[in-house]
């Protein structure tokens, strides 16, 4: 069965995940995380990607980004992945693949889902029981988004900017979002969309994305496939 083509649209945020091969570690020392982040910033700039949130776990990476070119995310991950693999193989005298095939991704509806996806990403170390609070984890964007820590890699999305009239009020409002855990159903929805390369959003968002790409953008129902109808006029981000 052929692989599903990634859904990539200009100016639509994307959540992506790249895992180590067989879920084995891809970071072994602090220097590895620092190198990856330096190159992430470099290639994000070259490809025109804005990084809104990230977390580097021991054996996988989450990114939330947007760009005005549909192919920008793929270009970023290709260049970054190749350079980091060369570095790891050289540094640890190893050979072979480091990553588990292609990265997985999904387009994210802005209203109602983007900030939830940011929380999902930055709460990864908490769900993995590595820390009790996301601020305790060094290798994520939480300290930049929630505490104002200087991080030139992080480029806030407009929805984050709308949380307050200045940096302090935005950070306080963002921290307030973390007072409660994400609902299990929402966590499952984010995972299902990312792993399956489906649209992350409401039914309307999935219909519009499906019409734009000419194929289904949501998990199918049992039975005969149906043609994707043209969407009614309206805003993609309702």
Domain boundaries, the chain: 14-211
DSSP assignment, residue 63? E
172, two tokens: 């306080």
**Radius of gyration, CA atoms only, the chain:** 18
Q: What is the mean pLDDT of the chain?
A: 90
pLDDT range class, residue 101, cuts 50, 70, 90: confident
- Residues 118-162: pLDDT tens digits? 999 999 999 999 999 999 999 999 999 999 999 999 999 999 999
127/129 Cα distance (integer angstroms)? 5
212: how many CB neighbours lie within 10 A of its CB?
17
Three-state DSSP class for residue 155: coil
- pLDDT value of residue 228: 35
Q: What SS3 state is found at 158? A: helix
Angle between the N-to-C axes of helices 184-196 and 114-122, in degrees from 0 to 180, rounded to the nearest 10: 90
Q: Is the pLDDT of residue 221 over 70?
A: no
| pLDDT of 133 | 97
Long-range CB contacts (within 8 A, 24+) of 168-173: 171/145, 171/146, 171/147
Please compute the mean of the pLDDT values over residues 169-195 and round it to a whole number.
Answer: 95
CA–CA separation, 104 and 151 (whole Å): 25
Per the CB < 8 A criterion, the answer to whether 120 and 140 are in contact is no
Average pLDDT score over residue span 64-91: 96
pTM of the model: 0.90
What per-residue confidence (pLDDT) applies to 3?
63
Distance CA 29, CA 228 (A): 48
pLDDT reported for residue 235: 33
Of all residues in the chain, the percent with pLDDT exceeding 90 is: 83
Q: CATH assignment of 14-211?
A: 3.30.70.1290
Query: Could you tell me which residues come within 8 angstroms of residue 200 by beta carbon, excluding any fewer than 6 positions away?
Result: 15, 106, 107, 108, 109, 113, 117, 189, 190, 193, 194
């Amino acid at each position: 069965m052929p692989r599903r083509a990634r859904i990539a649209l200009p100016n639509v945020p994307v959540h992506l995940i790249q895992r180590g091969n067989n879920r084995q570690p891809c970071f072994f020392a602090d220097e590895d995380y620092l190198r990856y982040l330096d190159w992430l910033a470099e290639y994000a700039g070259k490809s025109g990607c804005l990084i809104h949130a990230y977390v580097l776990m021991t054996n996988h990476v989450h990114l939330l980004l947007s760009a005005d070119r549909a192919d920008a995310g793929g270009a970023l991950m290709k260049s970054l992945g190749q350079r980091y693999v060369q570095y790891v193989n050289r540094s640890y005298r190893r050979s072979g693949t480091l990553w588990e095939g292609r990265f997985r991704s999904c387009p994210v509806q802005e209203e109602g889902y983007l900030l939830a996806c940011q929380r999902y990403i930055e709460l990864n170390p908490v769900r993995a029981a590595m820390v009790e609070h996301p601020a305790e984890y060094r290798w994520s964007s939480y300290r930049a988004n929630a505490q104002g820590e200087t991080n030139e890699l992080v480029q806030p999305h407009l929805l984050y900017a709308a949380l307050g009239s200045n940096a302090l009020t935005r950070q306080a409002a963002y921290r307030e979002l973390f007072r409660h855990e994400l609902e299990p159903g929402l966590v499952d929805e984010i995972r299902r969309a990312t792993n399956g390369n489906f649209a992350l959003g409401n039914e309307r968002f999935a219909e519009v994305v499906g019409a734009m790409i000419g194929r289904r953008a949501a998990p199918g129902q049992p039975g005969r496939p149906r043609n994707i109808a043209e969407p009614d006029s309206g805003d993609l981000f309702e």
